[in-house]
Amino acid sequence: MNTEDKLSQFNASAVGNKNNNIFGLPFEVEESRLVFIPVPWDVTVTNTKGAAQGPMNIFSNSFQIDLYDPIVPGAWKAGMAMEQIDPGMISTNQQVRMQAEQVIRFLEEGGEADDSRHIQELINSVNNACESLALSLEKSTLQYMDNNQLPFMIGGDHSCSTGQIRALAREHEFGILQIDAHADMRKDYQGFTHSHASVMRNALETNGVTQIVQVGIRELCNEEVQVISQNHKKIKTYFDHDMHERMFEGENWSDICREIIEKLPDKIYISFDVDGLEPSLCPGTGTPVPGGLSFNQAVYLLETAMKSGKRIIGADLVETGPNPLDGIVSCRIVYRMAGMMIKSNE
């Protein structure tokens, strides 16, 4: 059955059919304009694990969504589908996660990695596994790009974004809009070069990434402050405290959003870490921090990006935990982002 026949027989007002793909849509990956790439991976998470369950949590809750979106009505008709979650990736994540936990425990108990050959071997093993994942995601993203399909990664922890960003940077110059509680600008963290705390540092060093605009940052280390200050032309950070202070003193969120988006080039990648939101919205995320954006503030920022004429060439949503509310909130952000992404590429 072709896409037109599927659409003619599909009742968008019916109960979400769990025999269909994500959001109850009737599309296969091969025929969809936008493809969700699930990455059940949380190897280097240091606070609360569970982000590996994020893709399934989002998928399971997606069938409760009503498809009408007042911002981009009917965008789903272009086709959205999610790859099947790879059980092999789940198994690998569990194995490598156990190695990472040994390292994390050793360091948190005061050990020095340089003094332990065993710990060094574990760090190397974890780094190699994470690099293999990045290469695999880079390859699959390139295949979708070759098919004129839009890639949208669903994590997993934030380190998963690296492969997709690399793939897009092979063919585009673009900026990154990062919604996050953390700067993620460490060279490495606990010896892990593909740490969730290093993903934007890796992006900064990727040819093709011309600008990084960070929104909602409210927790960072001295190393990250230094990186941001030394790269002030390429990194613009909107700290959560500063944004809220401006609003408390009378500025409109709409004006701040326009200012944020104006800092970005015409092509953008959106990297949405759900800990950038108020913790009450996604309480199961791995590293929650007080403060953050409301749901409506985040959606309005994304809408401002789309309406500005920016072309959203790729996106991710990461750090969704296993909590039911995490899935309920995250799947709705994913749906809104995907519709805007499709619309921006028309």
pLDDT-derived band of residue 163, with 50, 70 and 90 as boundaries?
very high
Alpha-carbon gap, residue 36 to 84, rounded angstroms:
9
Q: How many CB atoms lie within 10 A of CB 129?
A: 20
Domain definitions of the chain by residue range: 3-344
**b/e sequence 151-161, b meaning 16+ C-beta within 10 Å:** bbbbbbbbbbb
Q: What is the mean pLDDT of residues 212-238?
A: 97
Q: What are phi and psi of 77, to 5 degrees?
A: -65, -20
Per-residue pLDDT, 5: 76
Q: What is the mean pLDDT of the chain?
A: 95
Q: Which amino acid is at 328?
A: I
Dist. CA 151–CA 163, nearest whole Å: 11
**Integer Cα distance of 323 and 330 in angstroms:** 11
pLDDT-derived band at 123 (thresholds 50, 70, 90) equals very high
Taking alpha carbons only, the member of 149, 126, 195 closest to residue 314 is 149
Split at pLDDT 50, 70, 90, the class of 248 is very high
Q: What value does the mean pLDDT take over residues 106-125? A: 89
Residues with Cβ within 8 Å of residue 162, at least 6 apart in sequence: 134, 137, 194, 199, 202, 203
Query: Is the dihedral angle over the CA atoms 103, 316, 154, 294 positive or is it negative?
Result: positive
CATH architecture classification, 3-344 = 3-Layer(aba) Sandwich (3.40)
Q: Is the pLDDT of residue 117 over 70?
A: yes
pLDDT in tens, 257-273: 999 999 999 999 999 99
pLDDT of residue 193: 86
Sheet holding 80-82, edge to edge: 80-82, 34-39, 150-155, 311-318, 267-273, 174-179, 209-217, 235-239
Residues 300, 254: contact at Cβ < 8 Å? yes
